[in-house]
Amino acid sequence: MIDQSPPFVPVAGIRLGTTAAGIRYRDRRDLVVIELAAGSTCAAVFTRNQFCAAPVVVARDHLSRQQPSYLLINSGNANAGTGKEGMQSAIESCRSLAALCGCSEDRVLPFSTGVIGEALPLERLVAALPDALGSLDENGWLHASRAIMTTDTVPKLFSRRIEFQDGCFTVTGMAKGSGMIRPDMATMLAYVATDLALDSRLLDQSLQQAVEPSFNSITVDGDTSTNDACVLVATGKSGCEPVRDPQSEVYGLFCDAVESVCMDLALAIVRDGEGATKLVSVRVEDALSSAEARTVAFTIAHSPLVKTALFASDPNWGRILAAIGRAGVPDLEIDRVELWLGDVCVVSGGGRADGYTEAAGQAVMDKQEILIRVVLGRGVAFATVYTCDLSNEYVRINAEYRS
């Protein structure tokens, strides 16, 4: 068997513990506790779905009051659409962990992922907490990245080790996500940590910059989840001087490292899209604004007809052209639009490009990684989003998810 365990670098001041609580899955880890060193700072972004899950509501509230000491994550049950009972379960899970650790309950942030609309088996979760705490380990990242998986087929875990004149620091992140993936977060959980010392303001600024080109630029199926969250933690245990100046070299290096890890995690989610066989980049150029470019790109990326053609490796460029045309771009001059598959120009001047052949388009579509490039001819703005094909396996996985 090929070892698919991703390499990682532990982060000083972070310990992770896992256990099998039997929340939904049998004989596998499904509960994670992450311990943050005293003095750590934290920033987070959450789903924009208005039907957000109970743990999202509780985590937002707790983070607004205190810097956390522990993150509590369960897979197999989303604790979403569960009303007052679900809210109480999220609160009680925090209260139970806090009692074991000797901290206030608002220093625990809860996270859940899995089936929506089913009551969280709180007794099983609480009973498993001592075992999770007993396994806390600086090297627990790989077990944790596997424990948070639902329909994922591989763990998603990446690190960067950055050296600069006055020292070095680490950024390590893990994520889960495979289906119900659409921007404004997705059905994904992501946890990124560094051993640098930064205040929550700089941490939040870095996270906001990192999620836009990464997690907020991916889509598998156009569905925004109820449970999405991305957390960035700084423990301050690197031995480097605290970062206070947003114009400093080290802060720039840090932001680049966070964005790089987030991008790796985001692309890993798309590659692992339920039943996916292709990674597809959709780049729209020469738009009037980046918002316009993103709208066109997502219209293409969300089209079931485009996505099924990608699965079939069919250079059916008419489907892409139709998506561009219905993206709502005002006063679009179709004679100025160009469509490219990889380095092959397919459409120019309002119709099939001179010299385009089906064989050339087929050669691009046969690849596992494909670039769809659209030139609108309206301005200088651009945007790139990342998606995958839509396969028979996607339908099977989602049809059988609750069975």
Question: What amino acid positions are annotated as catalytic residues?
Answer: 187
Separation in Å, CA 118 to CA 60, 75, 115, 401: 22, 13, 7, 13
| Sequence-distant (≥ 6) Cβ neighbours of residue 279 within 8 angstroms | 267, 270, 271, 368, 369, 370, 386, 388
Buried-state track 107-128, b at ≥16 Cβ within 10 A, e below 16:
bbbbbbbbbbebebbbebbbeb
Q: In what order do the strands lie in the sheet with 338-341?
A: 351-352, 344-348, 338-341, 369-375, 279-287, 381-388
138's tokens: 């600086």
Q: What's the Rg (C-alpha) of the chain?
A: 22
261's tokens: 């890890």
What secondary structure does DSSP assign to 101-151, as a single string?
HTS-GGGEEEEEEEESSS---HHHHHHHHHHHHHT-BTTTHHHHHHHT-SS
Element (H, E) at 16: strand 14-19
275's tokens: 């039943």
* 3-state SS, residue 160: strand
